[in-house]
Chain A
């Protein structure tokens, strides 16, 4: 009971500009504090374990954004977004309450909410069973849970192709196909669907 009350107080803090929490003592709940939230966190949606990493931002479920979002850190969206969202080199999580009408680009995209727009992930897309996605997908790897609603096309761009170009002088094993995508190098991202 006590601890629950204290938790309830927490969301009111980020009213003022969030300062870097680098040297703040990390008590029992360090994860929430490291996250730069633009609104109170939702009840049901727990930010990913990814927030353990330094630098991750979140748009709460009561936030609406129209326009372009560029993130240089991991981003979690649980509100409404209309426009474009780009987090090159980083992870983008679309939370269960999110309603997104936007083109998305990121290294890795996790989808739990509703999206209308094209999705471009250089590394991986993970579509959870409660997700709804209408749009075209371009990625290297895709995981889709049974029950997810998806309408659109999927274009798998092999990471090998993008990797092959900047390869330094290598022993001439030339045309040996790499069967398993092991490391993902961010390929140049192209927008939109390929018709």
Chain B
């Protein structure tokens, strides 16, 4: 299974056409919350960096939260020429070494958000392998993928939890996606997971729940 890079240079972030922050309903997060409410003292990984809203929400449910800014690590490791620089083995290796440096089976839940759509093969598969490694069996992950086939540039968002069903999306930069992900490709990407479930939304965001 290989996922190749799209052609062309990556679009650089431009504040001019950065979309505004919006709140959106999220069925995927609603389901994720259902899982969180089913037990206490879970370990949750938030991969959009540390935020007061997410910390307050998760710890308010009695869970422990860990933060890892995967997009920040991508920016450090790959710089502005985002897709091209992933093809250099040394950059890819550096990224994998700095991402998800947690012991095996550390987490019951992971909020991966939309970061994976900016990774190309083989960095993408290696990252998924790492994700599955740090998740406990039965744990679930929430992932987002832009579902707009025509979009050439996709904003990277910070996701801030407002309540059980609502997220605040704050754009932080924009990148060219590595490729368009459809359901079939995503199923293949997570073929080692116990189950995958998709939620299609009206705003071109494909939400996905993966159970380890």
**Segment at the B interface, from A38-46, A88-96, A112-120, A139-147:** A139-147
Q: Is the CB of B66 within 8 A of A149?
A: no
Which one of A146, A149, A155, A156 contacts B72 once the chains associate, using CB atoms below 8 Å? A149
What chain B residues lie within 8 Å of A151 (beta carbons)? 67-69
Q: Is the CB of A144 within 8 A of B55?
A: yes
User: Closest Cβ of chain A: how far from B73's Cβ, in Å?
Assistant: 9
Q: Is the CB of B67 within 8 A of A154?
A: yes
Q: Is the CB of B72 within 8 A of A154?
A: no
What chain B residues lie within 8 Å of A152 (beta carbons)? 66-67
Q: How many A-B residue pairs have CB under 8 A?
A: 43
What chain A residues lie within 8 Å of B11 (beta carbons)? none
Q: How far is the CA of A43 from the CA of B59 in the complex (A)?
A: 38
The reply on A153 being an interface residue by CB < 8 A is yes
Q: Give the residues from 128 to 180 in chain A that come closer than 8 angstroms, CB to CB, to chain B.
A: 142-146, 148-156
Q: Is the CB of B50 within 8 A of A153?
A: no
The reply on B122 being an interface residue by CB < 8 A is no
Q: How far is the CA of A127 from the CA of B50 in the complex (A)?
A: 10
Q: How far is the CA of A50 from the CA of B52 in the complex (A)?
A: 24
User: Closest Cβ of chain B: how far from A180's Cβ, in Å?
Assistant: 12
Q: Give the residues from 189 to 212 in chain B that come closer than 8 angstroms, CB to CB, to chain A.
A: none
A11-37 toward B: CB 8 Å interface, digit per residue (1/0)?
000000000000000000000000000
The reply on B124 being an interface residue by CB < 8 A is no
The reply on B51 being an interface residue by CB < 8 A is yes
The reply on A6 being an interface residue by CB < 8 A is no
The reply on B65 being an interface residue by CB < 8 A is yes
User: Closest Cβ of chain A: how far from B76's Cβ, in Å?
Assistant: 11
The reply on B165 being an interface residue by CB < 8 A is no
The reply on B155 being an interface residue by CB < 8 A is no
The reply on A4 being an interface residue by CB < 8 A is no
User: Closest Cβ of chain A: how far from B75's Cβ, in Å?
Assistant: 12
Q: Give the residues from 3 to 21 in chain B that come closer than 8 angstroms, CB to CB, to chain A.
A: none
| A143-B52 in contact given A149-B72, A154-B59, A195-B103 (Cβ < 8 Å) | yes
User: Closest Cβ of chain B: how far from A148's Cβ, in Å?
Assistant: 6
The reply on B64 being an interface residue by CB < 8 A is yes
User: Closest Cβ of chain A: how far from B2's Cβ, in Å?
Assistant: 31
The reply on B49 being an interface residue by CB < 8 A is yes
Q: Is the CB of B64 within 8 A of A154?
A: yes
Residue of B nearest to A146 (CB): B51
| A149-B52 in contact given A154-B64, A154-B65, A155-B64 (Cβ < 8 Å) | no
What chain A residues lie within 8 Å of B55 (beta carbons)? 142, 144, 154
Which one of A148, A155, A194, A195 contacts B50 once the chains associate, using CB atoms below 8 Å? A148
Q: How far is the CA of A153 from the CA of B55 in the complex (A)?
A: 10
Q: Give the residues from 29 to 78 in chain A that come closer than 8 angstroms, CB to CB, to chain B.
A: none
What chain B residues lie within 8 Å of A145 (beta carbons)? 52
Spell out A's residues near B (CB within 8 Å).
Answer: 127, 142-146, 148-156, 194-195
Q: 6 more A-B contacts (CB under 8 A) besides A146-B52, A153-B43, A153-B67?
A: A127-B50, A144-B52, A144-B55, A148-B50, A150-B67, A154-B55
Q: List 27 A-B contacts (CB under 8 A).
A: A142-B59, A144-B51, A144-B55, A145-B52, A146-B51, A146-B52, A149-B49, A149-B69, A149-B72, A150-B67, A151-B67, A151-B69, A152-B67, A153-B64, A153-B65, A153-B67, A154-B55, A154-B59, A154-B64, A154-B65, A154-B66, A154-B67, A155-B64, A156-B59, A156-B64, A194-B64, A195-B106
